[in-house]
Structures are given as structure tokens and as C-alpha cells.
Amino acid sequence: ILTENNNTQQFIKQLAEREGVSEEKIKEIIIDSFRKSYCEGENSGAELHFEFDSGLSIYRLYKIVEAINEPEKEITKDNKLLKEGKIKGNNFFLPLDIKNLSISLNQEIKNRLRKDEVREKATEDNPQIILTRSDDLFIRKLLEQEIPQIKAGIIAIHDILRLPGLVSKVIVERGKVAMEKGLRLDPAGTCIGEEGEKAKSVSRLIYPERIDFADWTEDKKKLLPKLLSPVKLIKLNIKKEEE
């Protein structure tokens, strides 16, 4: 039994060591247990404040107001109860008699830890898989699947510029394998395929999102028009970044 006369810190430390968990975990269970015990019936909606020192102090927390709208959380500044607690700013802390709230925590802690262990085991045995189509990695893996030259390293994806659900601009270049073997090819054209067959195949999988390919070049005046296609640029001015 935990009461205000016990050495709370020692009690928590011993329980934590015995159960092989952190002291914070034990405190969390103690707080939850007392809240469940007190905050029911006419005390439903009450807010509690806990202080752990040599003993455990539990207070019911009220906000000091001119007029009460929420009786379970508010108290007027002329209420006689204010003499029985402590005031900090606009908050009033009414000490609760722990003897009336005391509960046996040993079984409560065991039950709680057992439930947590079951949840953790369930998570380990049944890992969650989160699927998203908005990550660039989704497009990258899809291209590797649909375009053999990318998977083989003949063509490399330099970058992907994407507005998920609208359009993906994929910048491609000769891959490591192509450079090692001295292969000459048109990376973007290869990805698009004859009559756009490969590009259409990928687009069908991410419909209504459209996918476009552009060859990588360090020349921004050549690269930007490709990325902005089908928009036709009339004039392009590139300002140098100021140091």
C-alpha cells in the first residue's frame, strides 16, 4: 500500500528494480492508477496534480475564476476552500487525503506491465508496414521495376522533382555500367521508350500523376526548358547567386 507516509522514492526504486523497468514507468502507472480511482462519478473531469518527494502528494487542481462555468475544474476567489490548499498564480491546489485513495499497487503494476509487454510483443511479431505513394523512393523503385536499364545500372536517376499526384520530373544520366563499358545512349529517350511506351506504362501505375524524363546537364539553360516542358520558354534569365 502506498500512502503519504511512505518513502515514495524508495518504494518506486524498489519496484522499478524488481520489475526491470524505469522509475518513470512506475510513476506513470501510479499516476494512472490514482486518476482512475478518483476521477469517476461526481469527480469525473477533475484534474489532478502529483508531487513525488519523500512522500506522495496529490492535489486536485482548480482554476481561480470570477464566475464558474466548469464546477469540476474552477473555483471562485472567495471560496473558503482556498484556505485549505495552496495558490500559485491563478491555480488552486487542494490536497487530497491519500488514505482514502490508497490502493494496492503491486498487482496494478504487474497487470499494467503485462499488458504493455503483450502490446510490445504483438508489435514485434506483427510489424506494421506503412505504404505511401508520396515518397520519391516510391517512384525510384517503380522505375527500377519497369525500366530494366535503370535496374541494371546502365541508366542512373540523377534526381526526382515531384508534385505527388500531379507530375514527376525524373532527371536521368548514363549509369556506372554504361560509363564502364563505354555505351553511348540517350538516357531520357530510353526511359520514354518507343512511342512513349515505357513512360506510359509507369504513368498508368501512378495515374493521374504524369511522369516526364529529362537528360541531366550542368547547363541550366538547357536543363530548365526540359524540366518545364510542355511549357515553352520565351525568355530565360538566370541570375547568379550573390555571395
Which option is the CATH number for 8-125: 3.30.300, 3.30.1480, 3.30.1450, 3.60.60?
A: 3.30.1480
Chain segment 213-241, per-residue pLDDT in tens: 999 998 888 888 888 877 777 877 777 76
User: Where does residue 22 rank: exposed (0-12), middle (13-18), buried (19+ CB within 10 A)?
Assistant: exposed
pLDDT of residue 4: 46
Please state at what angle helix 197-205 crosses helix 136-146, rounded to 10 degrees. Answer: 140
State the Cα–Cα distance between residues 208 and 99, nearest whole angstrom: 65
Mean pLDDT of 80-99: 88
Indicate the CATH number for domain 136-228: 3.30.300.20
Q: How confident is the model at residue 1 (pLDDT cuts 50, 70, 90)?
A: very low
Please tell me the pTM assigned to this model: 0.45
User: Where does residue 23 rank: exposed (0-12), middle (13-18), buried (19+ CB within 10 A)?
Assistant: middle
In the predicted structure, residue 3 carries a pLDDT above the cut 50: no
For residue 231 the three cell numbers come to 511549357
pLDDT of residue 156: 95
pLDDT of residue 112: 66
Please state at what angle helix 105-125 crosses helix 23-38, rounded to 10 degrees. Answer: 110
Chain segment 100-127, per-residue pLDDT in tens: 554 555 556 666 666 555 455 545 555 5
Mean pLDDT of 87-95: 93
Q: How confident is the model at residue 171 (pLDDT cuts 50, 70, 90)?
A: very high
Selection from 233, 215, 231 nearest residue 223 by Cα? 215
Among the listed ranges 82-86, 124-128, 131-135, 233-237, which one has the minimum average pLDDT value?
124-128
> Angle 226-230-234 (CA atoms, 0-180°, nearest 5)?
75
Question: Could you state, in order of their start, the residue ranges of all structural domains in the chain?
Answer: 8-125, 136-228
